[in-house]
């Protein structure tokens, strides 16, 4: 059942479960988190059987639309790529689609969610603990994640980008999209709170993530506008200037003003 068709009581129950589980993640130590990540999502789906992610898995048409939308982000960057790597690939349908154009595709996740379907021969799924990834340095030309950064513990985000930097060959790119904080929260807590309290452990701005990728030693970043990566520092300055102008507004008014301008932080960063 799609999330929009849930009753208010079901949404409230979903929120309370996710809030409870997310508190455990927020308060956890780095040593505790690998085990928690392996179990908490399974607990969430067991306790919230009407969760939208469960419904999406059962909706083939919606899955195809999701894959097509992500391919539009990636398509201009696939030419010449020898190895593509996706973080948190979910059911792996996007990665399998990329296999049609790229010689080697690697998917990295904390569990196998592919459902046992037959994968292409040039596909490799690597299950890891969220920290220690047994892949060599400089092994990929292009990295990708979608709706993933917001699920990381804020203390682990720099570590993630440092890992991405290690995996990329010189000149390689990491393209990612994550919900923008100004138009959020974007998880179930949107209905009951002005700040994320569910499994979106932190929602970000361009300015915040630009600082993180700089600390991870990426050489440059650019933002997407109108579905295309805009490799222009002028566009970056306009983006950061618009964020700065909206920062002082009251949270609810800022969310309304950001509904079109800042739905997501969609960036391409280069090693």
CA distance 58 to 213: 36
Bin 55: left if φ > 0, else alpha if -120 < ψ < 50, else beta.
alpha
Measured CA to CA in angstroms, residue 74 lies from 94, 200, 232, 269 at distances of 10, 24, 18, 13
Sheet strand arrangement including 220-225: 123-127, 104-109, 83-87, 140-146, 168-179, 264-270, 220-225, 228-230
CA distance 197 to 22: 7
CA distance 222 to 231: 6
Contact present, 36 and 25 (Cβ < 8 Å): yes
Contact present, 239 and 269 (Cβ < 8 Å): no
Confidence at residue 60, expressed as pLDDT on a 0 to 100 scale: 73
CA distance 17 to 93: 28
- Return the axis-axis angle of helices 233-246 and 206-215, rounded to nearest 10°: 130
Question: pLDDT (tens digit, 9 = 90+) per residue, 213-271?
Answer: 999 999 999 999 877 888 889 999 999 999 999 999 999 999 999 998 999 999 999 99
Contact present, 164 and 110 (Cβ < 8 Å): no
**Which H or E run contains 105?**
strand 104-109
Segments in the chain below pLDDT 50: 1-3
Question: pLDDT (tens digit, 9 = 90+) per residue, 200-218?
Answer: 999 999 999 999 999 999 9
Task: Return all residues near 163 (Cβ < 8 A) that are at least 6 apart.
Answer: 133
Give me the domains of the chain, ranges plus CATH numbers: 1-58 (no CATH), 69-270 (3.40.50.150)
CA distance 83 to 178: 23
């Amino acid at each position: 059942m799609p999330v929009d068709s849930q009753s208010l009581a079901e949404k409230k129950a979903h929120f309370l479960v996710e809030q409870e589980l997310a508190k455990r993640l927020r308060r956890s130590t780095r040593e505790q988190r690998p085990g928690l990540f392996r179990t908490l999502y399974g607990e969430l789906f067991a306790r919230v059987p009407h969760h939208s992610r469960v419904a999406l898995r059962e909706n083939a048409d919606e899955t195809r639309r999701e894959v097509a939308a992500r391919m539009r982000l990636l398509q201009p960057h696939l030419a010449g790529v020898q190895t593509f790597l996706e973080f948190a690939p979910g059911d792996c349908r996007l990665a399998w689609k990329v296999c049609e154009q790229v010689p080697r595709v690697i998917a990295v996740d904390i569990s196998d969610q592919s459902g046992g379907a037959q994968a292409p021969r040039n596909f490799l799924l690597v299950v890891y603990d969220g920290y220690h990834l047994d892949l060599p340095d400089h092994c990929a030309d292009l990295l990708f994640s979608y709706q993933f950064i917001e699920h990381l513990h804020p203390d682990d985000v720099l570590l993630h980008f440092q890992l991405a930097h290690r995996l990329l060959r010189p000149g390689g790119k990491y393209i990612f999209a994550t919900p923008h904080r100004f138009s959020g929260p974007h998880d179930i807590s949107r209905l009951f709170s002005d700040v994320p309290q569910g499994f979106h452990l932190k929602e970000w701005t361009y300015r915040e993530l630009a600082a993180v990728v700089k600390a991870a030693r990426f050489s440059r970043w650019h933002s997407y506008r109108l579905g295309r990566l805009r490799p222009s520092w002028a566009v970056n300055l306009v983006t950061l200037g618009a964020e700065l102008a909206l920062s002082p507004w009251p949270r609810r008014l800022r969310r309304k003003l950001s509904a079109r301008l800042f739905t997501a932080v969609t960036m391409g960063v280069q090693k």
